[in-house]
Amino acid sequence: MQPDAPQRPLPVTNEDTHAFWTGGERGELMIYRCENCRTYVHPPAPFCPECESRKVGPEPVSGKATVATFTVNHRQWLPGLPVPYVVALVELDEDPTVRLPTNIVGIDPEKVTIGMPVEVTFEQVEDLFLPMFQPRKD
Amino acid sequence: MKNQTYGEKNVAVTGIGMSKISRRADKSALALTIDACMEAIEDAGLKRSDIDGVASYPGADNNASGMSPVGVPQLMDALRLDVNWFSGGGEVPGQLGAVFNAIGAIAAGYCRHVLVFRTVFEGTARKLNRTANASATGGRNYGQIVHYTPYWAIFAAVQQALYFQRYMHDYGLTSETTGRIAVNNRRNASLNPAAVYRTPFTLDDYFNSEMLATPVRMYDCDVPCDGSVAILLSRADAAKDCRNPVLRVESVGCAQKVRYSWDQIRGEALARQATISSSEMMWSRTDLKPSDVDTAQFYDGFTFHTAAWLASAGFCKPGEENDFVGDGSRIALEGQLPINTGGGQLSLGRMHAYGQLHEAATQLWRRGGDRQIKRDINVSINTTAGGPLSGCMMLVKE
């Protein structure tokens, strides 16, 4: 019998990071942004590196992104780990310098390419909503 | 002339030590560390009482991963060392950060003789627990890694595959080239009695090794092992009184000018990682040029780290790595730029840059036995890599 799939190791959240990991409950990908100069700040930090404003907070983005790089993992590193799976870094449409580690889902892993347009989808684990990305439907 | 204004030029490697390196040690990690450290002290012709500083990377992690089972305080106490300064920690510019710290302590006048060591017990750790290589576990996690953990990117091969893939995409690096690097290092290991894996393999063997996480194959990965390496660094004037020819630190590169982040690392750095700014700093502090380098002991936690360093250190341009490596003859022991002459982490074992530093001194002191570079050599470079981790340094035999 196959062992059960292990649970994804989750983050502890705090005042800065909570919105990123829970915005998916409303279907929103929340990224920190400077209220003053509108720079995106990721990972979430209460300081704008462009204008030094402390007024930086979570705002929803479109969830559209592009695959910057990826790997298809074939090795079952843990008992029950479902393979193959795709790990990718995706760059947000609003600001490609904001790059998110994620899984690419909803596609044959062998068909993922660098430059592929993707959009966010969320997977709930306990109280968190993990941003995943899938091929764009439009 | 870029002269004594740079503190590292007043520091020399004066002794080296290495425990037995194996997949399963027959003694404790502390015992391995003592083997390496006492050998380095004796190699320099010094006594324990001469040691007035100790440094290590990345400091004891006090867990079962085997990543860093022995810290500076434990070693200092076991050897009853009385010191002026010590430092152990992982928040440094790459795996050689403990060496850079030691250089700083000597240049500042805190110390004359600093013992630097790196101990791993990952071979045993993984035999006891197959998942000891995971960088996170169930439960909730902290730190920069949390952006990777939920996505099962908690294994080095998976996480590093992202940079490897992008390097192939941006610069056309081929698996044949990384395979040639793996084959080269194994051939060198076959001539090194200390190496964990010594049976030569072919490019076909490389291509047939297990595909772990595209494009990373088994033979792209270094070998978790048990062992300890010690490097003794001394102030240059004190080095002259030691037993070995002086190996002066010519230059250090420890600049971090891409964001220190595994994922937000920018632009070119997504492929080349943090190697660019550390290399620029190293070359800015010396009159030497890449053509002056006799041997390169590159970081090879994964094969593509070495390919990236060929370009970042200036031996070829980015995109020319395939041509430079060619059929492997240029990087071989007999070639223009012999690399990882002891087998590197890929075959000697994952001593995390310290095996390579030990090997640089071994070659410059002409102790390489069957793997000794035949021609006269005087200049070596060592590098580190892996996402935001990067650093480099040059040694010159006086």
pLDDT digits (tens, 9 = 90+) for B48-97: 999 999 999 999 998 989 999 999 999 999 999 999 999 999 999 999 99
Nearest to residue B112, comparing CAs of B198, B205, B50? Answer: B50
**According to the model, what pLDDT value does residue B17 have?**
98
pLDDT digits (tens, 9 = 90+) for A57-89: 999 999 999 999 999 999 999 999 999 999 999
Mean pLDDT of chain B: 96
**According to the model, what pLDDT value does residue A5 have?**
84
Residues of B within 8 A of A77 (CB-CB) are 131, 133-134, 152, 155, 158
**According to the model, what pLDDT value does residue B267 have?**
73
Coil, strand or helix at B278: helix
Q: Where are the alpha helices (DSSP H) in B154-199?
A: 156-171, 175-190
Closest Cβ–Cβ partner in B133, B157, B162 for A70? B162
pLDDT digits (tens, 9 = 90+) for B146-174: 999 999 999 999 999 999 999 999 999 99
**According to the model, what pLDDT value does residue B54 have?**
98
The answer to whether the CB of A103 falls within 8 A of the CB of B188 is: no
Task: Take residue B2 and report the two structure tokens written for it.
Answer: 């870029």
Contact A10/B212, CB-based, under 8 Å?
Answer: no
Q: Provide the 10 A C-beta neighbour count for residue A35.
A: 13
The answer to whether the CB of A9 falls within 8 A of the CB of B155 is: no
Residues of B within 8 A of A49 (CB-CB) are none
The answer to whether the CB of B251 falls within 8 A of the CB of B283 is: yes
Residue A102 forms contact with B (CB below 8 Å): yes
Q: How far is A11 from chain B (nearest CA, A)?
A: 5
Residue A103 forms contact with B (CB below 8 Å): yes
Residue B396 belongs to what H/E stretch? strand B391-397
The alpha-carbon radius of gyration of chain B (Å, integer) is 19
Confidence of residue B24 (pLDDT cuts 50, 70, 90): very high
**According to the model, what pLDDT value does residue B130 have?**
78
* % of chain B surpassing 70 pLDDT: 99
Q: If you search the block for the tokens 């907070």, which residue do you land on?
A: A57
Integer Cα distance of B364 and B377 in angstroms: 6
pLDDT digits (tens, 9 = 90+) for A32-56: 999 999 999 999 999 999 999 999 9
Integer Cα distance of A58 and A39 in angstroms: 12
All structural domains of chain B: 7-128+226-239 (3.40.47.10), 150-223+247-397 (3.40.47.10)
Residue B363 has pLDDT above 90, yes or no: yes
For the question of an ipTM over 0.90, the answer is yes
- The C-alpha angle B60, B66, B68, rounded to 5 degrees, equals 25
Handedness of CA B310, B312, B313, B314 (dihedral sign): positive
* % of chain A surpassing 70 pLDDT: 99
Residue B288 has pLDDT above 80, yes or no: yes
The answer to whether the CB of B26 falls within 8 A of the CB of B256 is: no
Confidence of residue B396 (pLDDT cuts 50, 70, 90): very high
The answer to whether the CB of B125 falls within 8 A of the CB of B64 is: yes
Integer Cα distance of B286 and B4 in angstroms: 11
Task: Take residue A18 and report the two structure tokens written for it.
Answer: 């909570």
Residues in chain A: 138
**According to the model, what pLDDT value does residue A4 have?**
83
Instruction: Write the CA distances from B312 to B186, B268, B270, B359, integer angstroms.
Output: 23, 11, 13, 21
Residue B226 sits at φ, ψ, to 5 deg, of: -110, 135
Residue A138 has pLDDT above 80, yes or no: no
Residue B137 has pLDDT above 80, yes or no: no
pLDDT digits (tens, 9 = 90+) for B25-61: 999 999 999 999 999 999 999 999 999 999 999 999 9
Q: How far is A56 from chain B (nearest CA, A)?
A: 18
Least confident of A112-121, B270-279, B300-309, B354-363: B270-279
